[in-house]
Amino acid sequence: MADDVLMYGPAGWEGPPQRYGPAARVAVLSDLHANIPALDAVLAEPDVAAADLVVLCGDLTWGPQPQETYERIAALGERVLCVRGNGDRFASWLAATADATATARQSWITAQHSPEAIAFLNRVPFGVVVEIDGLGPVHFCHGSPRSDHELVTPGTPAERFAELSASLDVGVLVTGHSHLQFAREVGGLRSVNPGSVGLPYHTGQPGTAHWALLGPDVQLRTTHYDVADAVARAHRAGDPGAEQYAETLLSPPDPASVVVDAETRIFVN
């Protein structure tokens, strides 16, 4: 790892990650990217509705419908645990600084959040730990346990994985950020990514949201939704990035290429 990499770990107000559980079943959704049709379809899944907890692994509202996404999350009440993604961190920072160098889309997305939504993002912690039946303690974060913008992929070498997970006292690490769905064993730990609900990188049918169900094992799941509706809503909302957003939904990047790029760059905001 380069010595000059700026790490985005826990905020100054945070201590060690809070611990929750025990829980029999935990639904894990990541990288929502404010895709309401995809989010609604996954939340309607019987196994998600019946889960003891729903953990959201970051990049919650960075997309075309941020306020509506915040309202969906708030409606879940105490059943939901969130961790902070790099997009969530950036939205909070932009709202506080009104950065003059922000792009049109960055400014637009930030402006779509109500004060309550920004206050919510400001409170989202860097990571949480949940005791899950059959799996023991599971650590959830967005990028890695040391930075929300570090990419963990199916191709992450064992050496780097050992470095980024060295502080953990768990048997399972769940990350997001890469938009790739996978589960693998690395150096005695299980490395899991539920994939992205809102913008998955995959080779399957467009309009497929990815998520996971934990307990007593790890189940990687998919849910189909109306992708044409998601594209139409992005345009109707006035999202300056609607064209690129639609292209990613309709022609997702190839996972193999994503892994090669991610393992070359490692840290991506």
20-265 sits in which CATH class? alpha beta
Q: Who contacts 87 (Cβ-Cβ below 8 Å, separation ≥6)?
A: 33, 58, 59, 60, 61, 62
pLDDT at 96: 94
| Per-residue pLDDT tens digits of the chain, which is 269 residues long | 556 899 999 999 999 999 999 999 999 999 999 999 999 999 999 999 999 999 999 999 999 999 999 999 999 999 999 999 999 999 999 999 988 788 999 999 999 999 999 999 999 999 999 999 999 999 999 999 999 999 999 999 999 999 999 999 999 999 999 999 999 999 899 999 999 999 999 999 999 999 999 999 999 999 999 999 999 999 999 999 999 999 999 999 999 999 999 999 999 99
Tokens 């599971």: give the residue. 138
Distance CA 70, CA 113 (A): 8
Task: Give SS3 for 186.
Answer: strand
Tokens 């991506």: give the residue. 268
Tokens 């993002």: give the residue. 121
Distance CA 231, CA 245 (A): 8
pLDDT at 199: 98
pLDDT at 3: 66
Distance CA 82, CA 121 (A): 9
Q: Where are the alpha helices (DSSP H) in 124-253?
A: 158-164, 227-237, 242-250
Provide the residue type at 212 as one letter: A
Interior angle at CA 248, CA 242 and CA 250, nearest 5: 100
Distance CA 109, CA 27 (A): 27
Residue 75: exposure state from Cβ atoms within 10 A (0-12, 13-18, ≥19) = exposed
